[in-house]
Chains A and B, each alone.
Chain A
Amino acid sequence: MAAASAPTPPSTAEIAEAAEPLPSKLENSEADCPRKTRPGLKRLALTFTVLFSFLLGLPFLLKSVEIYRSPLPFREIDDLSAAVESIPLQFPCKFRAVFVGTGGSSFDANELSVKIEHQMRKIAAKDSTSCGACSYNSSVSVVVENGADCFRSDNDFNWKCGALSELNRYEDSREYNDELFDEYLHSLVDKSDGRGNGGNVYTMIVVRREGQKDVSAVVGKYRHGWIVGRLSEEEAVKKVATVFVKVFVNGGKEEGPISGEFMPVGADGKIVLSFNLLNADPHDWIYDWEFQEIDDNLLAPILKYLKPLADISVESQVLYHTPKSSFSYWDEKLGGYIFTTKDLPFFVNSNEWHLDTSVAAGGRSKILHLVVYVPSATECPLQLQLPNGKISKSNGFISPMWGSVVVWNHAACLNGSKMETRVRHMISSEDMRKIFEVFIGQLRQLFGLKSKGIFRDASGTIRLLTSESGFTEWELDVLSRQHTCFNLLQCTTTLGSLSRLVQSLPRMIIKEEIGEQVRYSIEAAKLALSNVSAGIYDASAVSSRRARSFAEDAFYHPSMMSVSYYSFEHCFAVYSPFFLPVALHVLLAALREWKRYKQESRKFKAWKAKKD
């Protein structure tokens, strides 16, 4: 522009100079030609009309180059993330304890309740508060049953006193085992008041028996556990509180390698379990499985059971010529080819194992690969050596967020007998059942649960009963709480980054769909929060999943990164060749005319005053 304006025609430059002469000259010119007529308004009006029409046209121009940005509720996003992130999400839970046969009790029910609460808070404070824990604000209902007497701390808990007295007799008849007792307690406790509002109810039953030396603590398949044995009240309180906090609330995990945030659920709330049978070398032997049977009989019930947690689908394939990529060595003492835990990072051969093709898993579903590895003749039997030198019983390992591998050595190879090659063998259903037991254990680990049925603590060991479906009810509660919490956290982080991104790029197009998805996501998140506070676990898990998937949909919308190519610099470059010179002309003209008008009218006034 500078170049364009500099060589203005000399004549106009002169006029410009002439239009604003020095004051002394002005006096001279005033003296030279006094103004006798009122200065005309024509030219002034014309230049100002042009100027104003330009100014009026400016909004239209801006409107025409503006891009569509759907209004996003930034304030609501901030509020939501503040609500979720500031205080860890805590679910209401109810705890109940029954003390049977306390003998000469030194405490009454209310005292015990207070003591347990106190103990629970103490334990919980030591633990790092993980996402999805229970809030310990509600009181613990306690029933103390002492012979025929029955004391209650509150009336919510309608425990049938004396219900366990029959059991003592029953127990003597040697048909007693923990599973049966669990079922019996289930009929007594959990059915009495099912899932009410305000969270699930967890019950501990302490049966004091003088005759028994050791103390056994068992947690059942449902939402209760029991402690039987000779123990003082203090110990009982401690133990009950431990079970409540460490098992029922935290899922009985120690500080494991997988924290709750790594729940292997896809952003759309789906998991694809991809089962693979890998025949390392089909020249030696070919194994096949009856997967349809397993799918129908073993997997279907588990998947149905896990439905509130995630939408799980199953697919399978058999692959051939898939050697592992790590080495194994022959160990005479152990009688097999050994691979150690150090080899595990190199076991999965991503060059030859084509596990990744799943057209069915569209979008952002999570695929978990569950692999059965059939070693070839040159490395059979193949066994995993644990760091302590022992051979692993499950002969498999997991890789968090990827899946798991089980090495299966068939019987002929273990016995060292010859077998016919190039014939398709079937893995026997007995072996299949074993493999899938390992898989279910590994699945539990992938979800962050313990694979063993024993919980060890400073106060002793607690036996955890296992369910046929792999997951007990209280474990599912733990998972669904964690899942909800994690989903909400993820949702708020995603929405937060979305809002930051959108605010930092002012020329980014935001489609209406994205705005809608964000609004839906916030709605679902709010619903999940209200469900959390009401203690409805399933509904909160579902709506939190919806919230997360909407947030992810918005963030990964295909149109999301379509930053307008028409950047501000571009806009400036396109319009400046027209608007800069014209605006200069118009502005200067208006300015000069205005100056001239003032000057002339002053002259006229001076003349008029002189004349008068």
Chain B
Amino acid sequence: MSRLKSFLLLFLALFSATASIKVEELNEEFTEALLLRPLPDRKVLAHFHFRSSAPPSQRYGRHHHIFPKSIYQLVRKFQVREMELSFTQGRWNYERWGGFDPISSSNAKPPGVELWAEFDVPHDQVDDSWKNLTHALSGLFCASINFLERSTSYSAPHWSFGSASGKLRYGTLPREAVCTENLTPWLKLLPCRDKAGLSLLMDRPSIYRGYYHSQRLHLKSDESDASETSTGIVLEQTLTVVLRPDTFSGKVLQPNWSLSSLFGRSVSGKCSLSSSSNVYVQFEQNLVSAWDKLREASEASDNAISVGEGFQDNPLFELSLPPKRVIRESGNFQKAGSILYEFSVEDSNQFKPFDLRLNWKVPVAWSSPQAPLQASRFLLGSGNERGAIAISMKSTRSTDNVERTGAYGENECWLRVGIFQMVPWYVKVYYHTLKLFLDGEPQSSTENMEKILVSPSEDKVSTGVLEMILRLPCSVRTAALTLEFDKGFLHIDEYPPDANQGFDIPSAVIHFADFVANMSFHENSLNQVPILSKLQEEVPVISYTEVLLVPLTTPDFSMPYNVITITCTVFALYFGSLLNALRRRVGEEEKLLSGKGARKAGPLTLMISKLAAKLRGKPWEPPEQSDSGRSSSKYKLIAKVALVAGVAAAWQFYFQ
């Protein structure tokens, strides 16, 4: 008996152990993090990163305690496999704020709204799912995303956006105004909203005062995948803002800042639901090398003992709080990588708020890492008839670098550049006019084109899409692409309310397929922190060009009525005179005229006859008056006027 009991106990213990493991494995998680980075142009980048995950519902069930219900229902209802929605205000300054790091590659977004989504439904249902999704999202985020429902406003990229399944849809609304009404529903998806934790910093006036503001929602789900390896739904919400710290003296090269001076608030404790909430301060690679140089110089001068990664004694800056951890990026062969200081906000509370402060000791200047080419896009030509789109790409490497690579021989080094351009149908692009210029010299496009896919637009049905991969020699200094187009005519009711402002052509997406923007850290344990694992993820370097504003011919919107009226009048005149001419008896009239003469000529006829007589050069004879005819014609005129007035009055009365 006792044996049986012990067996039973053992079994129970085992069972409970496995059960507890299972529970631990299947759990919702929420983490928050904030990354701060001083930018070369006296600004500060703040990047909030929130991540919620839900285990697959086959094993976990459909009731969640942290994961937002609305997002789960969205995923379930529309079978979303992956989706990214961003609301952006302002333009990312690639030149100054960098274009070759994970944050700029995945968080620099085109102005307005950008949405792409991949569905897990059969091909013929993808469009319907997209339409329903846009409506649901527009309700959820208080934005006019539902305008992406029209087939003229979205496209189906084939290979420019990750997956090539053909179930991906992409659309942008460049003119969407982004403000708090979009941020509030976005915050609702966080368990603590902006009541606690890092999101407490999101003081609306200070974040909307910034130079760049991009709120992003990315979700990835393998709900439909029933296998054991599925990870469920991962929702990633980021808010990227570029702020300028308030400084009193404008002459300082780098302003000192603190969280409270940047945001006007400080953090008092973490969100109780988050499993980790950290603040990171990142110093870019070039800044670190500047610092190293400075240290070398100081070492040479007074032989001070360097403490390596110490933060207190570094000659460049000073942080008000001791970091929990210093993470060094494993640099490449020549340079040191960037440095991340990690701070935890867990110990702070209402009475001891977390208010990090950065003071610069020495003025320093550096530049952010750049993407290999810097792209910009503009319009050529004038007038309302035709024009051309030009995309120009400028090499960002310094000249000596180019010369060095040039020495290797041009055939060995190639730069692959992908371009994705969506063009609305009323901009009728002639794809055969595609011209490529390298360093100002026209090139045959076939030679430098690795891959091209053109889906021409169909009037009032679909947008035109150009996807291509260029193969440029590394030594290239500038590359330019031009495409000619005709401006189309829209139907009167297709014009947007403010048609005279012009029409937007969505940003082109330039991606550098051979370059990945990621940071690699030495320690593997860092993968457990979502923001760090996100930074280590290999994302292709992507940059967006400007939004183009194309002025189209806008009609005078009262024109149709004018046209109708004038045509009708002309027709009526023609018709009336034709009928008159047909039924007139010229001979009889002449006879009558001669018989009665100007029997009852009015003042007008009198004048006309006088004028005619004068023209003919004959003396004018006044016609003999006949009173009776005159008075009768007068009565008739009065009767006619009265009749018309009566009809008008009756009309008015009847329709009131």
Q: Distance (Å) between the CB of B285 and the closest chain A CB?
A: 38
B500 close to chain A: CB less than 8 A: no
A18 close to chain B: CB less than 8 A: yes
B306 close to chain A: CB less than 8 A: no
Contact B63 A291 (CB under 8 A): yes
Contact A14 B593 (CB under 8 A): yes
Contact A10 B602 (CB under 8 A): yes
A60 close to chain B: CB less than 8 A: no
Select from chain A the residue with minimum beta-carbon distance to B633: A17
Residues of A within 8 A of B648 (CB): 2
Contact B195 A321 (CB under 8 A): yes
Interface set, chain B 575-595, CB cutoff 8 A to A: 575-576, 579-580, 582-583, 585, 589, 592-593
State in angstroms the CA–CA spacing of A586 and B576 once bound together: 8
Known A-B contacts A1-B644, A282-B192; the reply to A360 vs B77 at CB < 8 A is yes
Q: Distance (Å) between the CB of B213 and the closest chain A CB?
A: 23
Q: Distance (Å) between the CB of B310 and the closest chain A CB?
A: 33
Residues of A within 8 A of B188 (CB): 354, 357
Known A-B contacts A10-B608, A316-B63, A321-B192; the reply to A585 vs B644 at CB < 8 A is no
State in angstroms the CA–CA spacing of A315 and B70 once bound together: 10
Residues of A within 8 A of B136 (CB): 359
Interface set, chain A 146-192, CB cutoff 8 A to B: none
Interface size band for B:
35 or more
B123 close to chain A: CB less than 8 A: no
A1, A283, A580 pick with most chain B CB within 10 angstroms: A283
CB < 8 Å neighbour of A582 from B576, B582, B593, B655: B576
Q: Distance (Å) between the CB of A173 and the closest chain B CB?
A: 38
B559 close to chain A: CB less than 8 A: no
Select from chain B the residue with minimum beta-carbon distance to A581: B572
B69, B192, B585, B604 pick with most chain A CB within 10 angstroms: B69
Contact B193 A321 (CB under 8 A): yes
B65 close to chain A: CB less than 8 A: yes
Contact A357 B69 (CB under 8 A): yes
Known A-B contacts A12-B580, A283-B269, A582-B572; the reply to A358 vs B70 at CB < 8 A is yes
Q: Distance (Å) between the CB of A505 and the closest chain B CB?
A: 15
Q: Distance (Å) between the CB of A171 and the closest chain B CB?
A: 44
Contact A578 B572 (CB under 8 A): yes
Residues of A within 8 A of B571 (CB): 578, 582
Select from chain B the residue with minimum beta-carbon distance to A423: B272
State in angstroms the CA–CA spacing of A580 and B565 once bound together: 12
A43 close to chain B: CB less than 8 A: yes
Q: What are the interface flags for A575-590 relative to B under an 8 Å C-beta threshold, 1 for contact and 0 otherwise?
A: 1111011100110010
Interface set, chain B 53-88, CB cutoff 8 A to A: 61-66, 68-70, 73-74, 76-77
CB < 8 Å neighbour of A10 from B62, B68, B564, B605: B605
Residues of B within 8 A of A1 (CB): 644
Contact B629 A17 (CB under 8 A): yes
B568 close to chain A: CB less than 8 A: yes
Residues of B within 8 A of A530 (CB): none
A317 close to chain B: CB less than 8 A: yes
B196 close to chain A: CB less than 8 A: yes
State in angstroms the CA–CA spacing of A358 and B641 once bound together: 67
Contact B272 A320 (CB under 8 A): yes
Contact A286 B272 (CB under 8 A): yes
Contact A43 B582 (CB under 8 A): yes
Q: Distance (Å) between the CB of B605 and the closest chain A CB?
A: 5
Q: Distance (Å) between the CB of B572 and the closest chain A CB?
A: 4
B456 close to chain A: CB less than 8 A: no
Residues of A within 8 A of B575 (CB): 581-582, 585
Contact B604 A359 (CB under 8 A): no
State in angstroms the CA–CA spacing of A585 and B188 once bound together: 71
State in angstroms the CA–CA spacing of A358 and B71 once bound together: 9
Q: What are the interface flags for A1-18 relative to B under an 8 Å C-beta threshold, 1 for contact and 0 otherwise?
A: 110011000111011011
B140 close to chain A: CB less than 8 A: yes
Residues of B within 8 A of A318 (CB): 64-66
Residues of B within 8 A of A577 (CB): 564-565, 568-569, 572
Select from chain A the residue with minimum beta-carbon distance to B70: A357
Residues of A within 8 A of B269 (CB): 283
Contact A359 B583 (CB under 8 A): no
Contact B273 A286 (CB under 8 A): yes
Interface set, chain B 615-656, CB cutoff 8 A to A: 629, 632-633, 640-641, 644-645, 648, 655
B432 close to chain A: CB less than 8 A: no
Contact B140 A357 (CB under 8 A): yes
A117 close to chain B: CB less than 8 A: no
The interface size of chain A toward B, counting residues with CB under 8 Å, comes to 53
Residues of B within 8 A of A586 (CB): 579
A292 close to chain B: CB less than 8 A: yes
A14, A50, A277, A580 pick with most chain B CB within 10 angstroms: A14
Known A-B contacts A10-B608, A50-B579, A320-B272; the reply to A359 vs B561 at CB < 8 A is no
Select from chain A the residue with minimum beta-carbon distance to B576: A585
State in angstroms the CA–CA spacing of A321 and B199 once bound together: 13
Residues of A within 8 A of B191 (CB): 319-320
Contact A358 B273 (CB under 8 A): no
Interface set, chain A 313-328, CB cutoff 8 A to B: 315-321
Q: Is the interface of B mostly helix, strand, loop or mixed?
A: helix
State in angstroms the CA–CA spacing of A275 and B1 once bound together: 47
State in angstroms the CA–CA spacing of A107 and B136 once bound together: 70
State in angstroms the CA–CA spacing of A283 and B349 once bound together: 11
B596 close to chain A: CB less than 8 A: yes
Contact A46 B582 (CB under 8 A): yes
CB < 8 Å neighbour of B74 from A11, A359, A585: A359
Contact B73 A43 (CB under 8 A): no
A295 close to chain B: CB less than 8 A: yes
Known A-B contacts A282-B273, A317-B64; the reply to A358 vs B583 at CB < 8 A is no
Known A-B contacts A360-B73, A577-B572; the reply to A585 vs B65 at CB < 8 A is no
Interface set, chain A 42-56, CB cutoff 8 A to B: 43, 46-47, 50
State in angstroms the CA–CA spacing of A292 and B596 once bound together: 107
Q: Distance (Å) between the CB of A197 and the closest chain B CB?
A: 42
A6, A277, A359, A574 pick with most chain B CB within 10 angstroms: A359
B600 close to chain A: CB less than 8 A: yes
Residues of B within 8 A of A598 (CB): none
Residues of A within 8 A of B61 (CB): 291-292, 295
A523 close to chain B: CB less than 8 A: no
Known A-B contacts A318-B66, A577-B564, A577-B572; the reply to A46 vs B583 at CB < 8 A is yes
A593 close to chain B: CB less than 8 A: yes
Contact A2 B65 (CB under 8 A): no
Select from chain A the residue with minimum beta-carbon distance to B565: A577
Residues of A within 8 A of B572 (CB): 577-578, 580-582, 585
A288 close to chain B: CB less than 8 A: yes
Q: Distance (Å) between the CB of A423 and the closest chain B CB?
A: 9
Q: Distance (Å) between the CB of A276 and the closest chain B CB?
A: 9
A195 close to chain B: CB less than 8 A: no
Residues of A within 8 A of B580 (CB): 12, 585, 589
A422 close to chain B: CB less than 8 A: yes
CB < 8 Å neighbour of B583 from A18, A360, A593: A593
Residues of A within 8 A of B579 (CB): 47, 50, 585-586, 589
Interface set, chain B 160-197, CB cutoff 8 A to A: 188, 191-193, 195-196
Known A-B contacts A15-B589, A286-B273; the reply to A317 vs B193 at CB < 8 A is no
10 inter-chain pairs at a CB distance below 8 angstroms, sorted by A residue, are A10-B602, A291-B61, A317-B65, A320-B195, A354-B188, A357-B188, A577-B564, A577-B565, A581-B572, A585-B572
Give me the interface of B with A, judged by CB distance under 8 Å. 61-66, 68-70, 73-74, 76-77, 136, 140, 188, 191-193, 195-196, 269, 272-273, 561, 564-565, 567-569, 571-573, 575-576, 579-580, 582-583, 585, 589, 592-593, 596, 600-602, 604-605, 608, 629, 632-633, 640-641, 644-645, 648, 655
Give 6 nearest A-B pairs by CB, closest first.
Answer: A578-B568, A577-B568, A581-B572, A321-B195, A292-B61, A2-B644
Q: With A291-B61, A422-B272 given, can you name 14 additional A-B contacts, CB distance below 8 Å?
A: A2-B641, A277-B65, A317-B65, A318-B65, A320-B272, A358-B73, A569-B655, A574-B564, A576-B568, A577-B564, A581-B569, A582-B571, A582-B572, A589-B583
